[in-house]
Amino acid sequence: MRKRIRLHQVRVGMYVEELEGTVVAPSRIVGPILSPADIDLMMKSRAMSVVIDRRKGLDVDQGSRDGVENDLVSFAFDLNSRFGAEEIRLAREAIQDARPCIRDVLAEARTRGSFRLDAADKAVERIMLEAMTNAGAMIAVAKLKEKDEGTFLHSLAVSALMVTFGRNLGMSEQAVRLLGLGGLGHDLGKTVLPIELLRKPGKLTADELEVIRTHPARGYELVKQIDGMSKPVLDICLYHHEKFDGTGYPHRLTGSAIPQAARIAAICDVYDALTSVRPYKRAWSQAEAIETMTRSRGHFDPDLLNAFISKMVINGTIH
Ligand SMILES: [Fe+2]
């Protein structure tokens, strides 16, 4: 009764047969998982997957409330095993500092259809400062998207990912700032869509999907109202759902016809969406997210995706 599960699904009470795809082999935790400390050790192994024996211990409790709660608990363990207490505290502080500014940006877009550049600038300044020394923890802490916090934290995480990726690509601080602003505002067009549509559980109809797909153009129109708004920010709003092979929207642009800032945004947007922990959805591990993104041939700029993997993932900037 062997079963392969993801690392973050390991719970106290399971019996671990094998850790797969790990460079570290903490052999002493192969066997029963007796305590949170054992889970901690497992997390440190950074294994791609884990094989459990369901006859000797618990199975994954999929879909139940318990399962979801365990997922959140596991996320906390995971976070504590990868970052120091001070790094986590500073990351939380930075997110708290940026919160009122981002909330203002989202509220202004929703109620007046306009872009609060001053507030967005302030938030990006704070994100850029924290990302200098503590990018990994800030991005990790923002992964836990609790109720009503999803939009705010997704905007912040995409902004932080783009700032960090831009720096790792050797871009100037001014160019990095524009990536950060674009990341913060990339989905602003969604704030003017009907809330029930955005929150609808399950599959959307073709008509509903069409409405959702208007959000890049709506966001672009909203941000464009600011005189002299920089091109990369507008490009990110309008083109972040374009795909490298021309199958994206709204304009089905291909390859380098998609502005670079938008190609960067596409990678950071999808990465954060896949790896986020939400109350109703299990998060994917970093390895699973990267594997899926690599397999999605045609979606992303392959050179930029390779750079993301080598300069952000393999070197441990985000983990
Ligand atoms: Fe979007």
Q: What is the DSSP string of 183-217?
A: HHHTTGGGGGS-HHHHT--SPPPHHHHHHHTTHHH
Q: What are phi and psi of 251, to 5 degrees?
A: -110, 5
Q: What is the number of helices (H) and of strands (E) in the chain?
A: 13, 4
pLDDT at 64: 45
Question: 236 with 265: CB under 8 angstroms?
Answer: yes
> Measured in angstroms, how far is the CA atom of residue 118 from the centroid of ligand 1?
22
> Measured in angstroms, how far is the CA atom of residue 247 from the centroid of ligand 1?
15
Query: Taking the CB of residue 261, how many other CB atoms lie within 10 A of it?
Result: 26
Question: What are the boundaries of each domain within the chain?
Answer: 2-82, 85-314
> Measured in angstroms, how far is the CA atom of residue 201 from the centroid of ligand 1?
18
> Measured in angstroms, how far is the CA atom of residue 296 from the centroid of ligand 1?
18
Burial of 237 by CB count in 10 Å (0-12 exposed, 13-18 middle, 19+ buried)?
buried
> Measured in angstroms, how far is the CA atom of residue 211 from the centroid of ligand 1?
12
> Measured in angstroms, how far is the CA atom of residue 174 from the centroid of ligand 1?
24
- In sequence order, what are the residues at sequence separation of 6 or more whose Cβ sits closer than 8 angstroms to the Cβ of residue 304? 260, 263, 264, 267
| Short-list 167, 146, 225, CA closest to 192 | 225
> Measured in angstroms, how far is the CA atom of residue 5 from the centroid of ligand 1?
30
> In Å, how far from its chain's centre is CA 173?
22
> Measured in angstroms, how far is the CA atom of residue 289 from the centroid of ligand 1?
18
> Measured in angstroms, how far is the CA atom of residue 215 from the centroid of ligand 1?
7
pLDDT at 65: 46
> Measured in angstroms, how far is the CA atom of residue 91 from the centroid of ligand 1?
25
pLDDT at 181: 98
- In sequence order, what are the residues at sequence separation of 6 or more whose Cβ sits closer than 8 angstroms to the Cβ of residue 67? 60, 61, 282
How far lies 164's CA from each of 102, 263, 292, 312, in Å?
19, 15, 22, 8
> Measured in angstroms, how far is the CA atom of residue 35 from the centroid of ligand 1?
41
> Measured in angstroms, how far is the CA atom of residue 44 from the centroid of ligand 1?
33
> Measured in angstroms, how far is the CA atom of residue 214 from the centroid of ligand 1?
10
pTM: 0.79
Question: 136 with 319: CB under 8 angstroms?
Answer: yes
Q: What is the pLDDT along the chain (319 residues), one digit of tens a residue?
A: 778 787 878 887 888 888 776 655 555 567 888 777 778 777 777 777 788 888 888 888 644 445 555 566 677 777 888 899 999 999 999 999 999 999 999 999 999 999 999 999 999 999 999 999 999 999 999 998 876 788 899 999 999 999 999 999 999 999 999 999 999 999 999 999 998 888 887 788 999 999 999 999 999 999 999 999 999 999 999 999 999 999 999 999 999 999 999 999 999 999 999 998 876 666 788 898 999 999 998 999 999 999 999 999 998 899 8
Q: What are phi and psi of 50, to 5 degrees?
A: -130, 140
Does the 85-314 domain belong in CATH 1.20.120.80?
A: no
